[in-house]
Structure 1
Amino acid sequence: MPFFEFLAGSISGAVGLAVGHPLDTVKVRLQAQTVYEGICHCVAQTYSHEGVLVCAPIDLVKVRLQGQTCTNRYRGPIHCLAVILREEGLRGLYRGGMALALRDIPCYGLYFLPYEVTRKALTEAGEQPGTFTVLTAGGVAGVVTWAFATPMDVIKARLQMSGAGGRQYSGVVHCIRVSVREEGLRVLFKGLLLNSLRAFPINAITFLCYESLMKILRPPGE
């Protein structure tokens, strides 16, 4: 039933986000700023200064909260939202929205293809996929998807941070042009390793939760 699929998807997605959120913070900081020497340095600096908690209700607020290195600008998600509305207006809430759409629309279309291909490849004909198969297929799906998503994810993060003291960009094309000119093509793959490291466990757990919940919620005989 669609309701059970929605419920299973919502719960499994929440579990996946909870698992991957700490590394997501590090990813945003590496992509949007140049003050970190690498993954280990960014992790050490982030947690030594700010601890483990980060709150992120929506993507823009999430990126702003994750990207700030001064702990006094935003006191939390509600305060961050209020500051954005006060300083940038309603339009400010949609900063980076085009880059977000360009990242998510094609990648959501791609997302389930590697999952299904991997799952079928690891499952014997006539058998149900086991836990290892679902975990592996989900992890592969996440890594493949984020490999395609990372370039636009970098641009999205930079556009969203531009209203919070970051470099100012007039749009997606301008951001790409300036970023590539100043840092080379490799800038578009900034955070790719970290995206892959976080994508595998997040999506492995997400798909396992979904498949497990559907077995519980699906009516007998379906």
Structure 2
Amino acid sequence: MPFLEFIAGSVSGALGLAVGHPLDTVKVRLQAQSMYKGIFHCVAKTYSHEGLHGFFKGMAFPVLTTGITNSVVFGSYSNALDYLSQSRRSDRSQGTPASMTHVFTAGCFSGLMQVLVCAPIDLVKVRLQSQATVVRYRGPFHCVAVILKEEGPRGLFRGALALALRDVPCYGLYFLPYEVIRKALTEDGKQPGTFAILMAGGIAGVVTWAFANPMDVVKARLQLSGAGGREYRGVLHCMRVSVREEGLRVFFKGLLLNSLRAFPVNAVTFLSYESLMRLFYQQER
């Protein structure tokens, strides 16, 4: 049933978030602020000033809303793939795989849907995570209220273009290596095993972030530009200023952290998603 993918995506997203949020917080701070010399310096400063709680800033809001985000991604991907390939998930798992073109296109579609629905959620998460010594927002709802008051409704969509430039192509790349690697590690006629799903999901996450990182840096800076951070006029202006002041290496800030975080997060996400989908389909029979 089409809605089952949305349910499985919601649960798997929450599990993946719980695994990766501390590293995501460090990544956001490295990308958006120049006060840190590197990963370990950021970790040490965060812990010394804020304790363990500092690594989980902004987590409550994504936990409540990640169900929406991942539900949109996995639900729209699976249903788009059904439509493009004119086949059901159960057919593809029995040895009739979708074409790589269909997989990539369905992934891009899921990225677009994710941006349209979840851009404000991502903005609030980034602003809450970036708070260090100065606490500007008391929580997610206060953050939304302040943004609406000071920046208007458009403020909730700061960085949305950069988010779209990151997520639309990169979700195509996200699902493509997953499908290819999972199939390569699975014997013909058999269901993918736990190892195949974990490896395929983890590698897919790392590959995706290798391509997504430059625009992720731009997105984070644009999202913080209305919160007392540096003001940028748009994506291209942010890129030009960042390169002029910090060199091309600026686009790879947080890449190591993203890669370290991406493998376990996406391995857990895909394994929980696939396990739930099998459970749902078994109950349907």
TM-score, scaled relative to structure 1: 0.95
Structure with bigger helix share is: 2
Distance apart, 1:219 and its partner CA: 3.7
Query: Corresponding residue for 1:54?
Result: 57
Could you list the per-position Cα deviations for residues 74-119 of structure 1 after superposition, in whole angstroms to 9, with x for gaps in the alignment? 1111111111111111111111111111111111111111001111
Query: Corresponding residue for 2:16?
Result: 16
Does the CA contact (< 8 Å) of 2:206 and 2:259 recur in 1?
Answer: yes
Distance apart, 1:177 and its partner CA: 0.5
SS for the counterpart of 1:49 is: helix
Could you list the per-position Cα deviations for residues 15-67 of structure 1 after superposition, in whole angstroms to 9, with x for gaps in the alignment? 11121111111110000011111111111212332232323531111111111
Counterpart amino acid of 2:162? A
Correspondence for 1:199 among 262, 282, 285: 262
SS for the counterpart of 1:218 is: helix
Q: Which has the higher contact order (CA 8 A, sep 6+)?
A: 1
Correspondence for 1:102 among 165, 184, 190: 165
SS for the counterpart of 2:208 is: helix
Q: Which runs of 5+ in 2 are unaligned?
A: 62-120
Distance apart, 1:72 and its partner CA: 2.7
Please say if 1:63 is aligned against 2:126. yes
Please give the alpha-carbon distance, in whole angstroms, between the structure 2 residues aligned to 1:155 and 1:221: 45
CA 1:11–1:221 in structure 2 vs 1: closer, same or farther (change >3 Å)?
A: closer
Query: Corresponding residue for 1:92?
Result: 155
Distance apart, 1:127 and its partner CA: 2.2
Please give the alpha-carbon distance, in whole angstroms, between the structure 2 residues aligned to 1:179 and 1:60: 20
TM-score, scaled relative to structure 2: 0.75
Counterpart amino acid of 1:55? G
Aligned pairs for 1:105-116 (under 5 A) are 105-116=168-179
Query: Corresponding residue for 1:166?
Result: 229
SS for the counterpart of 1:61 is: helix
Could you list the per-position Cα deviations for residues 138-178 of structure 1 after superposition, in whole angstroms to 9, with x for gaps in the alignment? 00010111111100000000011111121111000000011
Query: Corresponding residue for 1:132?
Result: 195
Which 4+ runs in 1 deviate beyond 4 A? none
Please give the alpha-carbon distance, in whole angstroms, between the structure 1 residues aligned to 2:284 and 2:32: 50
Query: Corresponding residue for 2:83?
Result: none
Range with bigger deviation, 147-156 or 159-168: 159-168
SS for the counterpart of 2:225 is: helix
Counterpart amino acid of 2:15? V
Superposition RMSD in Å? 1.5
Q: Which runs of 5+ in 1 are unaligned?
A: none
**In percent, how many aligned pairs have the same letter?**
75
Please give the alpha-carbon distance, in whole angstroms, between the structure 1 residues aligned to 2:234 and 2:168: 18
SS for the counterpart of 1:164 is: coil
